[in-house]
Amino acid sequence: MNAQELLQLIKDRKSSRIPFDENRPIDPDTLQTILEAATWAPTAHNMQNFEIIVVDDKSVLKKLSELKSSISPVFLQENYPQLSFSEEELKRRKTGILASQFPPLWLSPEAQQGRLHQPASGLGKQVSAGPVLLLILYNPNHRAPASEGDFLGVMSLGFMLENLWLMATAQGVDVHIVSAFGNEPLTNEVKKLLGIPSELTITLGVRLGYTEKEEHRLRVRREVKDFVKFNKY
């Protein structure tokens, strides 16, 4: 793979938020390669500060999909400034996401002011239908040396996730990040169900699979000149 092919792979990486084909499993060798890419990510002091639970048992996936999760008012309030309400606005801003990806209720004045409290609901078919769910675990007590708040350790998790994500993309496997798995009280229910030790933190879930249809969604990025400065700010 040359430099331009690698750059194109990076550009092709995306989060697929639509259901996966429940009748199309991931080949074990493909999954093994994705997980091996994760282990070669750079981590602070080579701590390799992560554990991964692979959930591919349909009955377990169904139980996880039935667990309740709620959207916090803080998320809804802080999500709003990141939204564009047309493709033209998103192209102009070059950051954020389209408001049309979210339920109308999330765009209400109550949501914008942090006053919307939605009842908890099940995680649903997106979790139960996919062939594989990865749960990324992290021990906050095992931090990188002299790293306040374990900033370096958290960065290391990001490096690992990027390795995993790019390898999945290279093999034609679709990826969806499910941040709800890191939220209370859902995380406690997941720990009980899967026997995860209390000292470990569930950071997020990663759905792996193959989308049932093409997903057309505008993706934007800033140009290099928009964020790079030379020699001084």
Domains of the chain by start residue, with CATH: 8-70+120-213 (3.40.109.10), 72-118 (no CATH)
Looking at residue 5, its pLDDT comes to 95
For the CA atoms of 183, 188, 191, 193, the dihedral, rounded to the nearest 10 degrees, stands at -110
Instruction: Give the pLDDT means over successive 10-residue stretches in the chain (233 positions).
Output: 95 91 94 98 95 97 93 92 96 95 90 87 86 96 90 95 98 95 92 96 96 86 96 97
Helix axes 151-170, 3-12, angle to 10 degrees: 100
Q: Are the C-beta atoms of 128 and 122 separated by less than 8 Å?
A: no
Measured CA to CA, the distance from residue 151 to residue 215 in angstroms comes to 34
Burial environment of residue 104 by CB neighbours within 10 A (0 to 12, 13 to 18, 19 or more): exposed
Helix, strand, or coil (residue 204): strand
